[in-house]
Amino acid sequence: MSWPAASTGPRKRRPWRARPAAVAGFLATLAAGAAQPQQLIANLDVSPQALTKNEARLYFAMHLVRWPDKRPVRVFVLPDKHDLHIAFCQHVLEFFPYQLRTGWDRQVFTGTGQAPTVVANESELIQRVATTPGAIGYASSAPANPNIRSLEVR
């Protein structure tokens, strides 16, 4: 008779002990999200207002090379080891940077596709997206540039 009593005791209390931890975890997630609001950015002439996650993956993997209005897509990225590149890959595309690199290398070295243009830093990336028709890239926050629009990734 003592066996069920001993087991129900902790089972009853556990949700109460777990709750503060869950709240803390939720807050931590919010904080992390707020600290890394990577934005998918595009030149103002790019027609879509938002992209699905799959569409964003196809454009950055360079499998889709034209926008719905048939104009060419120009992709700009930072070096593989750049923190913003890693964060954008993992949080927005949910790819690991090495997966994108493997795909680009496969395309370039089999003649079945091309690689994106790699630029040195975030300000150059924003500049290139702002001045290149059909360009997409990313930024650590929505840039205040009249030639750039942030695209929501759903």
Binding site for other proteins (CB under 8 A): 52-55, 57-58, 63-66, 68, 70-72, 74, 79-81, 93-96, 98-99, 102, 105-106, 108-115
Query: Would you say 25 or 133 has its CB closer to other proteins?
Result: 133
State the minimum distance, in angstroms, from the CB of residue 153 to other proteins.
13
Minimum separation from the CB atom of position 76 to other proteins (A): 13
Minimum distance between the CB of residue 32 and other proteins, rounded to whole angstroms? 16
Among 92, 89, 93, smallest CA distance to 79 is for 89
Q: In the complex with other proteins, which residue's Cβ is closer, 2 or 112?
A: 112
Strand ranges (DSSP E) for 78-134? 117-118
Give residue 22's identity as a one-letter amino acid code. A
| Nearer CB in complex with other proteins: 64/87 | 64
CB of 83 to other proteins, least distance (A): 12
- Nearer to other proteins among residue 50 and residue 142 (C-beta): 50
Q: Of 140, 66, 138, nearest to 148 (Cα)? A: 138
Sheet hosting strand 39-43, strand order edge to edge: 50-51, 148-153, 39-43, 135-139, 74-77, 117-118
Q: Is 78 exposed, middle or buried (0-12, 13-18, 19+ CB in 10 A)?
A: buried
Only one residue has tokens 């300000």, namely: 123
